[in-house]
Amino acid sequence: MDHQDFTHIQSGDPSLYNDDLAPVPHAKRSWGWFEIFNVWNNDIQSLFGYTLAASLFLSYGLNGWLTFAAIVFSGFLVMWLVNLSGRPSVRYGVPYAVMARLSMGVKGARFPALIRGIVAIFWYGVQTYFASTAVALAIRALFGIEPGAGAGGFLGMSGVDWIAYVIVAVFQIGLFLMGINWVGRFLNWAGPFVYVVMIVLALMIWWQVGNGIWAEIGTIFQAEEGGRNQILGFIAVVGTMVAYFAAVVINFGDFSRFVKTEREMRIGNFWGLPVSMAFFSFIALFITAGGVVLFGERLTDPTELVARVDNLTLTLVAAFTFFIATVGINLVANFVPAAYDIANLSPSKISARTGGLITAAIAFIIGGLWVALISKIGIAMFVETLGAILAPLYGILIADFYVLRKQKVPMDELFTTDPSGSCYYDQGWNTRAIVAVGIAALFSIGTVWLPALAALSGIGWLIGAVLGGVLYIVLTRRE
């Protein structure tokens, strides 16, 4: 199956087909396990990823080794989820937006693509802003500009902030326009580089604080008195980590379609998820412990740690590292998925390249408004609500491919509006899938908004996915 060639699909209905959405022939696939490994490396190694890993050791009152085990377990769980969602695109070479037509209908698939695209565009703008803070840090360090100088300028950002923001925005667009192979090369270089710098930072901290750091690690690894139930805490950590990767889990096919074989994908997922998560989490723990010894505080934000150390070289290297890491996750989790999802709305008029430019334009406004407006009005709840809708969509996608269609895809019918096609359903919409999404999404959204379900906010995504898949199978088989 991995070596099928779909060059016979030369065209399709213009409302459903363009070259970017067409199947990628096996002969044109250039990604192996290392590229997939670095997709996950860049997803894990962002500023938020570090802060999340460090805070999990301190937030749940668990034995530290149990927290570490929960993080590793979540890595295996996410690996299993993306192996499921990635296999169809490895075998058939199409992105998530096209594979969604299988269960949602050739027109109905625009709905999940639009939801995923909105989420991606929002976070792309936000991550662009955060990446720009690293560039601004470097500019101020180089020119001796005080951190607070020019604060409160246009939309709450100084001239330095805006220069840094434009630099990051242009860099990301340029890299994307160079093509997916260049994106892969950037990830291949950025992932290992960030690890090297993080290891060096950990060694520097070890050198400064001495072997006493190991005792501090032991202190952090002790459960706090009055902590929550160990089992519930374990589940909460796992749920938090799965929720962090949820967006990439559903559209992982956007990357796996470029992989040569399913075996390469599985190897990359193994080294990039449970193994890489374990290694990165331990580094985060080690550096956090070093911050306790050096400054007497549990600092989970690495920028705060760097700011405490008055060293120009360290500041520049750290700023460059944070920039690379954040751009990496932005490309993986936001830019590429949004480009494909927007292209799927009108393939005859919008290419992935055009979709990327539309993404960048809207996201530039969102990122520019982050400090002055968006960060203050709690719009993140809106985005989390859209993300909750994606949970049952994932379950439906998996249930349709594996349970109902037995992993067989009628490729020609994904690109036609012929009413006799199995993916046409009711005027291009699969109403059974819509009903299943609606019912299951009520629960997923409830975990975001209802206090009574707040404890399930982490695993709510998993429950929503299972519920959506089960409802879809029941409704389809009844029909």
Q: pLDDT above 70 covers what percent of the chain?
A: 87
Asked if 223 and 62 count as a contact pair (C-beta separation under 8 A), the reply is yes
Name the residue with higher pLDDT: 374 or 135: 135
Name the residue with higher pLDDT: 58 or 423: 423
Kindly indicate the confidence band of residue 213, based on its pLDDT and cuts at 50, 70 and 90. confident
Name the residue with higher pLDDT: 470 or 337: 470
pLDDT tens per residue across span 284-312: 778 877 877 787 777 766 766 776 766 78
The pLDDT score that the predictor gives to residue 226 is 46
Average pLDDT over residues 177-189: 82
Asked if 249 and 85 count as a contact pair (C-beta separation under 8 A), the reply is yes
Q: Is 11 a residue whose pLDDT tops 60? A: no
Q: Is 411 a residue whose pLDDT tops 70? A: yes
Q: What's the mean per-residue pLDDT of the chain?
A: 84
Structural domains in the chain plus CATH codes: 30-478 (1.10.4160.10)
The pLDDT score that the predictor gives to residue 374 is 77
Asked if 387 and 242 count as a contact pair (C-beta separation under 8 A), the reply is no
Q: Which tokens sit at 214? A: 């190991």
Average pLDDT over residues 221-232: 58
Average pLDDT over residues 436-465: 85
Average pLDDT over residues 42-57: 72
The pLDDT score that the predictor gives to residue 7 is 52
Average pLDDT over residues 340-365: 91
Note the pTM of the prediction, 2 decimals: 0.84
Average pLDDT over residues 210-215: 78
What crossing angle do the helices spanning 262-270 and 33-44 adopt, rounded to 10°? 30
The pLDDT score that the predictor gives to residue 372 is 83
The pLDDT score that the predictor gives to residue 168 is 95
Q: Which residue has the tokens 């080794």?
A: 65
Q: Which of 29, 6, 7, 51 is nearest to 305 (CA)?
A: 51
pLDDT tens per residue across span 250-278: 989 999 999 999 999 999 999 999 999 88
Average pLDDT over residues 345-354: 88
Q: Which residue has the tokens 């962002």?
A: 46
Residues 6+ apart with CB under 8 A from 98: 21, 109, 344, 414, 415
Q: Is 243 a residue whose pLDDT tops 90? A: no
Average pLDDT over residues 226-244: 74
HSE, CB side, 13 Å, CA atoms: give it for residue 329. Answer: 25
Average pLDDT over residues 335-363: 90
Q: How many helices (H) and strands (E) does the chain have?
A: 20, 0
Q: Is 391 a residue whose pLDDT tops 80? A: yes
Count, residues in the chain: 479
Calculated CA dihedral for residues 418, 422, 428, 430, nearest 10 degrees: 170
Q: Is 473 a residue whose pLDDT tops 70? A: yes
Strand partners, 426: 429
Asked if 74 and 353 count as a contact pair (C-beta separation under 8 A), the reply is no
Q: Is 118 a residue whose pLDDT tops 80? A: yes
Average pLDDT over residues 128-140: 88
Q: Is 2 a residue whose pLDDT tops 70? A: no
The pLDDT score that the predictor gives to residue 448 is 80
Average pLDDT over residues 456-469: 85
pLDDT tens per residue across span 139-182: 988 888 776 655 667 888 888 999 999 999 999 999 888 887 88
3-state DSSP helix/strand/coil percent for the chain, to nearest 5? 75, 0, 25
Kindly indicate the confidence band of residue 231, based on its pLDDT and cuts at 50, 70 and 90. confident
Q: Which tokens sit at 170? A: 């242009």
How far, in Å, CA of 42 to CA of 333, rounded? 9
